[in-house]
């Protein structure tokens, strides 16, 4: 909820939980004073996330037991309100009732929202259409990820004029090629055996490519496998590629469980080595706590420009690097969370407002509904639709 409605809703909740919040605050203060000046023990006490999850309460009975102070003060408020004038009676009755039902409210708003399966919303025609798009997308990789291109996906193919293939590829393209193979297996466009064979050939090529501190160069010739000039390491491309390697690793782990195959074991080992050898600390500025956009080998230095926004295609790089422990967790907090407003809605700003910046990472990174990033992605779609509508209307008027 937003605007005035959201403010009213929040105020009602604050009032309903006021006795309980006051109670836990007083208890915390009393404990602190006692431990600091009397017992001198348990001065550092906290719950781990795992312990908190185990102790989480879920039923209304548990909520009423934990928030009993709300019930007690609610009854007291109702009793004393009966002694006052008409205004005091009405106000006391409202507040007292709100405190009595406070635990029930807390229980209801704490329940996770039911997960919607968006696939169930699709008509049969829409499903067929999407599968056709997936098949046509796979056809590109099936056609060009071949021996001539060393089982790497070329950047593009021009259908018009001379029907020319671009014999170059990037780390993002290479990673997308790998997860497209996995998707083709999931869609049953190819068999598991065929998928493993393609992944194996691609991984063998990737393993042989010239690298810099484990990073793939920004561009390679797919036929000669030589890095293209100027030689450059792109932070966002490396983050995309290693993120996709994690998907490949998980896919191979699932296959291993079903078949426990020697070839799969070897492939898993190679993929893990590729992940571990990619050192993201070399692209990180520890003073700024940010990633440079890349490393220029011709100049032998980091580019003096940085990914400083959370709503960026580079956030996958940040997540991967933190997960690998190549950079500290505090890097995530250093990413800017500047908000902008459009038609009473708010969302994170990106550099140019493109769908790529907001949605690219969602290819493999889970998008949590209601989160800052999740809502920002919705915000971006709203803005893009509005812009398209305005353009369409202006063209129509012209």
At residue 170, does pLDDT exceed 90? yes
Q: Is 158 in a helix, a strand, or coil?
A: coil
Centre a 10 Å sphere on the Cβ of residue 321 and count the other Cβ atoms it contains.
Answer: 25
Centre a 10 Å sphere on the Cβ of residue 332 and count the other Cβ atoms it contains.
Answer: 15
Query: What whole-number distance in Å separates Cα of residue 246 and Cα of residue 253?
Result: 10
- Which tokens sit at 114? 């039911």
- pTM score of the predicted model: 0.77
Contact 333, 347 (CB under 8 A): no
Length of the chain: 398
Query: What whole-number distance in Å separates Cα of residue 176 and Cα of residue 195?
Result: 14
For the segment 218-245, the average pLDDT, to the nearest whole number, is: 97
Confidence of residue 117 (pLDDT cuts 50, 70, 90): confident
Give the whole-number percent of the chain exceeding pLDDT 70: 97
Q: Which residue has the higher pLDDT, 121 or 303?
A: 303
Bridge-partner residues for 340, per DSSP?
A: 347
Q: Is 166 in a helix, a strand, or coil?
A: coil
Q: What is the pLDDT of residue 27?
A: 93
Please give the full DSSP string across 273-328, using - where no structure is assigned. HHHHH--GGGGEETTTTEEESEEETTTTEE-S-EE-BSSSTTHHHHHHHHHTTSS-
Q: What is the pLDDT of residue 81?
A: 86
Contact 158, 164 (CB under 8 A): yes
End-to-end alpha carbon distance in the chain: 39
Q: What is the pLDDT of residue 50?
A: 64
Question: What separation in angstroms does the CA of 260 have from each of 22, 26, 100, 190?
Answer: 57, 58, 58, 20
Query: What whole-number distance in Å separates Cα of residue 339 and Cα of residue 312?
Result: 13
For the segment 218-242, the average pLDDT, to the nearest whole number, is: 97
Domains in the chain with CATH codes: 3-110 (no CATH), 127-315 (1.50.10.140), 337-398 (no CATH)
Q: What is the pLDDT of residue 46?
A: 74
Confidence of residue 370 (pLDDT cuts 50, 70, 90): confident
At residue 229, does pLDDT exceed 80? yes
Among 353, 349, 339, residue whose Cα is nearest residue 385: 353
Confidence of residue 158 (pLDDT cuts 50, 70, 90): confident
- Which tokens sit at 267? 């492939």
Report the half-sphere exposure of 176 (CA within 13 A, side-chain side). 16
Centre a 10 Å sphere on the Cβ of residue 281 and count the other Cβ atoms it contains.
Answer: 13
Bridge-partner residues for 339, per DSSP?
A: 348
DSSP state of 329: T
Contact 206, 271 (CB under 8 A): no
Question: What separation in angstroms does the CA of 278 have from each of 77, 228, 241, 394?
Answer: 64, 20, 10, 49
Give me the phi and psi of 309, to 5 degrees please.
-115, 140
Confidence of residue 361 (pLDDT cuts 50, 70, 90): very high
């Amino acid at each position: 909820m937003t605007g005035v409605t959201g403010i009213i809703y929040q105020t009602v909740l604050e009032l309903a939980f006021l006795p309980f919040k006051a109670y836990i605050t007083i208890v915390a203060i009393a404990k602190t004073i006692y431990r600091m000046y009397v017992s001198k023990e348990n001065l550092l006490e906290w719950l781990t996330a795992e312990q908190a999850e185990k102790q989480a309460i879920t039923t209304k009975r548990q909520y009423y037991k934990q928030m009993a102070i709300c019930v007690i003060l609610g009854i007291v408020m109702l009793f004393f309100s009966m002694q006052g004038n008409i205004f005091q009676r009405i106000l006391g009755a409202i507040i007292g009732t709100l405190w009595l039902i406070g635990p029930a409210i807390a229980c209801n708003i704490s329940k996770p929202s039911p997960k919607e399966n968006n696939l169930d919303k699709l008509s049969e025609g829409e499903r067929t259409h999407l599968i056709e798009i997936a098949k046509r997308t796979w056809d590109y990789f099936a056609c060009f990820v071949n021996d001539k291109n060393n089982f790497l996906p070329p950047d593009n193919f021009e259908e018009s004029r001379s029907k020319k293939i671009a014999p170059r590829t990037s780390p993002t393209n290479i990673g997308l090629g790998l997860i497209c193979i996995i998707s083709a297996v999931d869609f049953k466009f190819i068999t598991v055996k065929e998928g493993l064979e393609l992944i194996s050939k691609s991984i063998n090529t990737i393993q042989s490519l010239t690298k810099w501190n484990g990073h793939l160069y920004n561009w390679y010739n797919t036929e000669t496998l030589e890095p293209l000039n100027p030689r450059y390491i792109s932070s966002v491309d490396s983050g995309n590629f290693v993120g996709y390697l994690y998907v490949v690793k998980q896919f191979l782990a699932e296959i291993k469980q079903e078949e426990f195959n020697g070839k799969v074991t070897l492939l898993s080992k190679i993929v893990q080595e590729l992940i571990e050898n990619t050192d993201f600390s070399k692209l990180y500025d520890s003073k700024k706590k940010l990633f440079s956009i890349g490393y220029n080998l011709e100049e032998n230095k980091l580019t003096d420009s940085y990914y400083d926004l959370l709503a960026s295609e580079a956030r996958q790089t940040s997540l991967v690097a933190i997960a690998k422990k190549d950079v500290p967790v505090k890097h995530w907090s250093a990413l800017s969370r500047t908000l902008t407003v459009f038609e009473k809605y708010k969302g994170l700003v990106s550099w140019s407002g493109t769908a790529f910046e907001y949605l690219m990472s969602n290819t493999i990174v889970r998008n949590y509904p209601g989160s800052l990033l999740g809502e920002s992605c919705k915000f971006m779609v709203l803005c893009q639709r509005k812009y398209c509508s305005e353009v369409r209307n202006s063209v129509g008027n012209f």
